[in-house]
């Protein structure tokens, strides 16, 4: 086997989680309800009967989980803060919950005590339910951005002396589309989903997108103005997005369709956030007046919201095929067909344990380079991982032998190393998703992305082989000694 392509000795790596997926303790210590608490308890169920009431019980077992991080050799850990644990009612004039603040202070100190660098995500989908009830949550662009700014300020004030790595939002595309177009995620609004009784797929996702962009911008501008100089941290955002190849690489229409799909997926948020520019022209052309405008005041804030890095959540790639028919009003992907095989029937990659994810590391490399060339910011891969084929039906003993996941990690890290060394792309870190098997949102507890097997009855944690091998993979690539 050839020696693996090296990574820089200061490459940051670790594991990632999200508050609602692992914490549990939803009714303890004055935590307020979030939209996911409500969504998970809808009847009939829209989450396969699952909820985050207990989840992995990380709220009570974080020391055990951080011992695993140490055992796995992680240098860093990305986690999210539950907004409604900090401000139970969410709003800028609502009281703080000091117990919730102390919980996250304890988490941060516990990580630092183990020599693990905390990376904090301010928002990973769990909007306080009280804000949704009060004014529609993200549907009110002006109110939501002001409340998010105050929440961010509290986090900077209380945690910023020790937290030097901030992510404002996780995957605003998912929040906007799954929450307000398809209705598959909280708050479940949609006009095309028969289970949804409220929403307008043609308009609401685009309103929510602007609210999220401006909330991010206010939080970053605030950090830059009041906290950066004293705290000396860095701040960015995590955007999801697949890489798209043309279904027929000889058809110019498919080449245009592939690029348009990535603009609808990534450029929607990245153009305003990283370039302080309007949305991609193809979005304006298709959506017309349904795509909200940015005001001069908005652009002024965006100009002040300079970020330090691009957080990339990447799992898979696809093929894009053009459509000849006009786009329906409810289209949100750029009027294309998404396919997992090309014109010649060649699959984009090896199937995993979930239908939408195939391993395509060669296209990951292209994706990294495209993003770096377009937006010019160092990249941290803030999520990357997979479930093994059939893992949802495996016993613990079967799941820990996760050879597919090991191969997936190795191949995607090789893509990163090649992009760094041969393509001139600046990639500074990598977070495997996820530390634990956990609540996979609307997929419930069936799909397992973790490097640690979670028994959802006993809550026992069992390391999978991938967890122990990642340290060796990184240390070999970084030419570092591996701890025994």
pTM of the model: 0.98
| 398 catalytic residue (yes or no) | no
Half-sphere exposure of 36 (CA within 13 A, CB side): 30
CA separation for the pair 35, 133 (Å, rounded): 10
2 — pLDDT class (breaks 50, 70, 90): low
| 171 catalytic residue (yes or no) | yes
CA separation for the pair 108, 115 (Å, rounded): 11
3 — pLDDT class (breaks 50, 70, 90): low
CA separation for the pair 83, 309 (Å, rounded): 23
Out of 143, 383, 391, 414, pick the active-site residue: 383
Q: What is the pLDDT of residues 262-291, one digit of tens each?
A: 999 999 999 999 999 999 999 999 999 999
Nearest Cα to 72, choosing from 346, 415, 429, 472? 472
Share of the chain above pLDDT 70, in %: 99
Q: What is the pLDDT of residues 72-92, one digit of tens each?
A: 999 999 999 999 999 999 999
Q: Which residues pair with 237 in a beta bridge?
A: 310
Q: What is the pLDDT of residues 420-460, one digit of tens each?
A: 999 999 999 999 999 999 999 999 999 999 999 999 999 99
pLDDT for 408 beyond 60: yes
Q: What letter does residue 341 receive in the DSSP assignment?
A: B
Please give the average per-residue pLDDT across 386-407, as a whole number.
98
| 73 touches 482 (CB < 8 A) | yes
SS3 content of the chain, % helix, strand, coil (to 5): 45, 15, 40
> What does the chain come to in residues?
484
4 — pLDDT class (breaks 50, 70, 90): confident
pLDDT recorded at residue 482: 59
Out of 143, 149, 171, 414, pick the active-site residue: 171
Element (H, E) at 238: strand 234-240
Residue 161, C-beta contacts closer than 8 angstroms, at least 6 positions apart: 231
Say which CATH superfamily domain 12-477 falls into.
Glycosidases (3.20.20.80)
- Residue 118: phi and psi, rounded to 5, are -80, 135
What residue segments make up the domains of the chain, in order of their start? Answer: 12-477
Q: Indicate the burial class of 339 (C-beta count within 10 angstroms; 0-12, 13-18, 19 or more).
A: middle
């Amino acid at each position: 086997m050839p020696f693996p392509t090296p990574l820089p000795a200061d490459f940051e790596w670790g594991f990632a989680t999200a508050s609602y997926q692992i914490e549990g303790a939803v009714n303890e210590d004055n935590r307020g309800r979030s939209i996911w608490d409500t969504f998970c308890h809808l009847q009939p169920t829209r989450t396969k009967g699952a909820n985050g009431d207990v989840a992995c019980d990380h709220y009570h077992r974080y020391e055990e989980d951080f011992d695993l991080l140490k055992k796995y050799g992680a240098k860093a850990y990305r986690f999210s803060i539950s907004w409604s644990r900090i401000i139970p009612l969410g709003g800028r004039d609502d009281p703080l919950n000091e117990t919730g603040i102390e919980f996250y202070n304890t988490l941060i100190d516990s990580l630092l005590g183990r020599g693990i660098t905390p990376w904090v995500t301010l928002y990973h989908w769990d909007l306080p339910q009280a804000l949704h009830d009060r004014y529609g949550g993200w549907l009110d662009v002006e109110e939501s951005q002001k409340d998010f700014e105050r929440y961010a300020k509290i986090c900077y004030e209380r945690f910023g002396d020790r937290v030097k790595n901030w992510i404002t939002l996780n995957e605003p595309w998912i929040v906007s589309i799954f929450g307000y177009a398809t209705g598959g995620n909280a708050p479940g609004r949609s006009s095309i989903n028969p289970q949804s009784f409220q929403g307008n797929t043609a308009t609401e996702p685009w309103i929510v997108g602007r609210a999220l962009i401006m909330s991010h911008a206010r939080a970053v501008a605030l950090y830059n103005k009041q906290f950066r100089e004293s705290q000396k941290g860095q701040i960015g955002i995590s955007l999801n997005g697949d890489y798209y190849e043309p279904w027929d690489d000889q058809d110019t229409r498919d080449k245009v369709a592939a690029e348009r799909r990535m603009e609808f997926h990534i450029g929607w948020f990245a153009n305003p956030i990283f370039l302080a520019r309007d949305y991609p022209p193809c979005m304006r052309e298709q959506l017309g007046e349904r795509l909200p405008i940015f005001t001069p005041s908005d652009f002024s804030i965006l100009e002040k919201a300079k970020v330090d890095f691009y957080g990339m959540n990447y799992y898979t790639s696809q093929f894009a095929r053009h459509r000849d028919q006009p786009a329906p009003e409810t289209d949100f992907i750029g009027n294309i067909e998404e396919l997992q095989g090309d014109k010649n029937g060649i699959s984009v990659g090896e199937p995993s344990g979930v239908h939408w994810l195939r391993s395509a590391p060669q296209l990951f490399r292209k994706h990294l380079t495209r993003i770096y060339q377009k937006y010019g910011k160092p990249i941290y891969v803030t999520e990357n991982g997979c479930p093994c084929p059939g893992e949802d039906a495996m016993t613990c003993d079967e799941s820990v032998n996760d050879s597919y996941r090991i191969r997936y990690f190795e191949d995607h890290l090789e893509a990163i190393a090649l992009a760094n060394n041969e393509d001139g792309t600046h990639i500074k870190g990598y977070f495997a998703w996820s530390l634990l098997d956990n609540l996979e949102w609307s997929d419930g507890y069936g799909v397992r992305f973790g490097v640690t097997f979670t028994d959802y009855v006993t809550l026992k944690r069992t390391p999978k082989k991938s967890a122990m091998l990642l340290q060796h993979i990184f240390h070999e690539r970084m030419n570092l000694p591996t701890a025994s």
